[in-house]
Amino acid sequence: MVSRNRSQVKDHLGSKVLNHPELRNTKATEYMSHEEKYRYNLSRATAMLKLIDEEGMDVNEISKVMSHTVSGFTTPDGNPLAVHQVMFVPTLMNQADDDQVSRWLGDVFNGTIVGTYAQTELSHGTFVRGLRTTATYDPASRTFDLHTPDVSAAKWWPGGLGTTANHAVVMAQLYTDGQPRGIHPFMVAIRDRETHRPLPGITVGEIGPKLGQNTLNNGYLLFDHVKVPRENMLMRNARVNEDGSYTKPSHQKASYGTMVFTRVAIALDTVDALQIAATIAARYSIVRRQGEPRDDGQEPQIIDYQTQQLKVLPHIAACYVLRASTARLWEHHTHVTSEVRGGDTALLPELHATACCLKALVTQDCSEAIEALRLSCGGHGYMTASRLPALYAYATAGATYEGENTVLLLQTARYLVKQAGGSHAPPAAGSAVTYLSRPADDTPFAVGSPAAYVAAVGRVARGRVTEVAAALQADRQTMPEADAWNQSLVQLVAAALAHGRYFVVREFAEVVSQQSSSRAIQQMLQLLFSVYLAHAVSRAEGDFITYGGLTPSDIRLNRRHLLRLLAELRPHMIPLTDAFDLPDRLINSTLGAWDGDVYRRMFEQASHSPLNTDEVPASFHQAMLRSKL
Ligand SMILES: CCCCCCCC/C=C\C/C=C/C(=O)SCCNC(=O)CCNC(=O)[C@H](O)C(C)(C)COP(=O)(O)OP(=O)(O)OC[C@H]1O[C@@H](n2cnc3c(N)ncnc32)[C@H](O)[C@@H]1OP(=O)(O)O
Ligand SMILES: Cc1cc2nc3c(=O)[nH]c(=O)nc-3n(C[C@H](O)[C@H](O)[C@H](O)COP(=O)(O)OP(=O)(O)OC[C@H]3O[C@@H](n4cnc5c(N)ncnc54)[C@H](O)[C@@H]3O)c2cc1C
């Protein structure tokens, strides 16, 4: 298992879950109560954990298991064990020292310890340094006192905390020797392992319904002077010694490592959700016929409307392009993490900058794309049974959790303006920012030349970054830093997104150039790339005129070029989505099944409505009676 890549793991597990005795039979959850949904999703999440264990997968493969293609089937309303798997376990693996790992991991893997990652508080999520839960060390008892000073400092949001976890990695302000030492992670037991009741001093519960993913089991947590042994501070990075003396971590932000990992995983995984949505919309768009009959006497397939092609096809191209760049980011993360473990943190700042902007770009693009794909399915896309609303709810959550997108883009922008101003350590070989210190690529723009488009995307990124860096520099001469920064926020965000776009298209250019096994595949990748590039220009025409060197005439030519490319891509739409290799049961949509039998499926799902059980539901008479009183 360990040597398989992500798609192989996904395919393998996909077929395993579809044949698994406890997982293969699904129930419609739409009409279940909040608690029934939780029970259903939790029992499936548990069966999935057992399956992972039987498969002998190590922790590094857990993120592969968490693929939305598989987890959307096993836990359709959100996985109450997701944060345990994606954040709690990786935090222990990477931030606990060797003794702590051997102390806890046995119980984690035998299911005795179920955890969550408790960082966000009611009044602070983004500004991590502002968290107010305290962990004050007492050398006499060799314990930390964990305390929530008031309700605004209650932990709020951690997944699985609501009613599932019995432990939490709690991010808290450390005080030793009376000194604040910043945010550090603590392993804290919150519920009794046998009875599952909250332990003394702990107040814990579930936060209530959300836009989607209602069985993620997000919770709240307060501490009333809870004593935690010294050995429970995760000590791979910083340390507190018995006498209360403090040893700093090798990197100031070492304790933020889990967030970097999860951002990378979210970027990769949100593309899974887009692939599912694109497959649904593509299949529906050929099945659905509506409009004035044509010469053959048939009403047109909706995909033959030019507007429909624009709503659907660019997002299929995006699936391919974003999959390649997020997979590359994953590899880069693996490499940098091993360097950091070996003590070399040189590559961490750029990894952080890239993870921030790709997580933001991908979740923003995918949620906008899934919404466009939902709209492309007309009224039927609004039905829960199309699966499109849930896919949207999943993707858009990714724009907020693990760092709100604007805030993450500002982290990237901070790195970029420093690079542009030469005030950061110079980039390493192969860095994604070397273009900022080189003259602009002056390849002339030519419609039909992907290389010319990539150069233009690069000029936009370079222009955006250097312009805002200069504005910031000028403002810094006349106002305080915080005001100067605030004065440029909108342009900084645009610069970071432009940089992200350039990263994405360069990665895909490399994929296309390296693909040599088949001429036909290479041509198809080129066509997909051309669609992605022409669409990217059409979405940001102003930028391409202002910074990219395009003329108004180029813009007009590009608009026509994009529509021609879409017509060229249209006959390949179904093979391109079939190639995602998603079995019907994993797609789980009335509109997106392989056989196209949409209308029969829609009737079949309506038969599950409890309001159809009796010819006249009792509730009708009860409500009418009340309104007459
Ligand atoms: C297969 C996967 C499937 C996914 C399914 C997921 C299901 C589970 C569902 C949800 C899970 C969700 C979990 C959560 O949301 S957990 C909470 C996440 N919270 C956040 O992300 C908070 C965002 N805020 C921050 O990260 C920080 O506050 C900050 C980065 C915005 C700012 O930090 P701060 O300490 O204030 O630093 P500065 O801005 O002052 O910067 C100083 C310096 O440090 C650098 N830096 C910041 N962060 C990092 C880092 N992580 N690594 C390396 N370096 C970092 C920063 O760039 C500055 O550098 P300098 O310019 O050189 O000084
Ligand atoms: C489904 C879900 C699951 C979650 N799971 C977990 C979990 O398991 N563990 C956990 O600890 N947390 C979790 N969270 C919390 C999540 O990480 C935070 O909600 C997220 O980081 C955003 O922080 P916030 O809520 O403080 O947003 P805010 O920062 O309050 O954002 C509100 C607005 O303020 C703006 N803003 C804030 N600061 C700045 C700034 N410096 N510059 C410019 N604009 C700014 C933002 O751009 C945004 O528009 C989860 C959240 C959700 C929705």
> What residue segments make up the domains of the chain, in order of their start?
6-79, 114-246, 268-291+299-425+450-576
Cβ atoms within 10 Å of 10's Cβ, excluding its own: 22
Pocket probe for ligand 2: among 122, 407, 411, 487, the residue whose CB has the most ligand atoms within 8 Å is: 407
Note the pLDDT of residue 53: 83
Q: Residue 548 above 60 pLDDT?
A: yes
Strands (DSSP E) found in 102-159: 115-118, 134-138, 143-147, 155-156
Nearest ligand atom owner, CA of 115? 2
Note the pLDDT of residue 622: 86
What separation in Å is there between the alpha carbon of 427 and the centre of ligand 2? 30
Nearest ligand atom owner, CA of 123? 2
Which of residues 63 and 354 earns the better pLDDT score?
Answer: 354
What separation in Å is there between the alpha carbon of 400 and the centre of ligand 2? 6
Contact in structure between 326 and 357 (CB atoms under 8 Å): no
Note the pLDDT of residue 590: 98
Q: Residue 417 above 60 pLDDT?
A: yes
Note the pLDDT of residue 343: 87
Note the pLDDT of residue 314: 98
Q: Residue 261 above 90 pLDDT?
A: yes
Give the pLDDT confidence of 569-624 residue by residue, as tens digits.
999 999 999 999 999 999 999 999 999 999 999 999 999 999 999 999 999 888 87
Q: What is the mean pLDDT of residues 321-339?
A: 94
Q: What is the mean pLDDT of residues 530-538?
A: 98
Cβ atoms within 10 Å of 31's Cβ, excluding its own: 12
Pocket probe for ligand 1: among 6, 262, 418, 433, the residue whose CB has the most ligand atoms within 8 Å is: 262
Residue 2: pLDDT band (50, 70, 90) is very low
Residue with tokens 């698994």, as numbered in its chain: 20
Give the pLDDT confidence of 81-104 residue by residue, as tens digits.
999 999 999 999 999 999 999 999
Contact in structure between 178 and 97 (CB atoms under 8 Å): no
Give the pLDDT confidence of 465-489 residue by residue, as tens digits.
999 999 999 999 999 999 999 999 9
Taking each helix axis as running N to C, give the angle between helix 552-569 and helix 519-539, from 0 to 180 degrees, rounded to the nearest 10. 140
Give the pLDDT confidence of 345-399 residue by residue, as tens digits.
999 999 999 999 999 999 999 999 999 999 999 999 999 999 999 999 999 999 9
Q: Residue 1 above 70 pLDDT?
A: no
What separation in Å is there between the alpha carbon of 78 and the centre of ligand 1? 23
Note the pLDDT of residue 515: 79
522 lines ligand 2 (CB under 6 A): no
Nearest ligand atom owner, CA of 418? 1
Q: Residue 627 above 70 pLDDT?
A: no
CA distance 153 to 595: 53
Q: Residue 59 above 80 pLDDT?
A: no
62-66, 222-226, 409-413, range with the lowest pLDDT: 62-66
Pocket probe for ligand 2: among 123, 126, 392, the residue whose CB has the most ligand atoms within 8 Å is: 126
Give the pLDDT confidence of 196-208 residue by residue, as tens digits.
999 999 999 999 9
By annotation, the residues acting in catalysis are: 402
CA 269-168-230 angle, to 5 degrees, is: 135
201 in a known ligand binding site: no
Taking each helix axis as running N to C, give the angle between helix 348-376 and helix 257-287, from 0 to 180 degrees, rounded to the nearest 10. 20
CA distance 128 to 122: 12
Burial class (CB in 10 A: 0-12, 13-18, 19+), 207: middle
**pTM (2 decimals)?**
0.97
Residue 400: pLDDT band (50, 70, 90) is very high
Q: Which residue's CA lies nearest to atom 18 of ligand 1?
A: 402
Q: Which fold has domain 268-291+299-425+450-576?
A: Butyryl-CoA Dehydrogenase, subunit A; domain 3 (1.20.140)
Q: What is the mean pLDDT of residues 63-86?
A: 90
Note the pLDDT of residue 429: 76
Note the pLDDT of residue 426: 74
Residue 422: pLDDT band (50, 70, 90) is confident
Note the pLDDT of residue 629: 53
Burial class (CB in 10 A: 0-12, 13-18, 19+), 424: middle
613 in a known ligand binding site: no
119 lines ligand 2 (CB under 6 A): yes
Give the pLDDT confidence of 491-516 residue by residue, as tens digits.
999 999 999 999 999 999 999 999 77
Q: Give me 280's structure tokens.
A: 């649904």
**In this structure, are strands 167-176 and 115-118 parallel, antiparallel, or unpaired?**
parallel
Q: What is the mean pLDDT of residues 214-241?
A: 97
CA distance 86 to 401: 13
DSSP state for residue 83 in the 8-state scheme: H
**Among 3.40.190.10, 2.40.110.10, 3.40.50.2000, 1.10.390.10, what is the CATH number of 114-246?**
2.40.110.10
Give the pLDDT confidence of 3-53 residue by residue, as tens digits.
567 777 777 778 889 999 999 999 999 999 999 999 999 999 999 989 888
What separation in Å is there between the alpha carbon of 184 and the centre of ligand 1? 13
Q: What is the mean pLDDT of residues 128-143?
A: 98
Which string of b and e fits 385-417 if b means at least 16 CB within 10 Å? bbbbbbbbbbbbbbbebbbebbebbbbbbbbbb
Q: Residue 58 above 70 pLDDT?
A: no
Note the pLDDT of residue 625: 67
What separation in Å is there between the alpha carbon of 527 and the centre of ligand 1? 37
Residue 421: pLDDT band (50, 70, 90) is confident
Q: Residue 224 above 90 pLDDT?
A: yes
Of ligand 2's listed atoms, the one at least distance from the Cα of 125 is: 26
How many residues does this entry show for the chain? 629
Q: Which residue's CA lies nearest to atom 30 of ligand 1?
A: 411
Residue 65: pLDDT band (50, 70, 90) is low
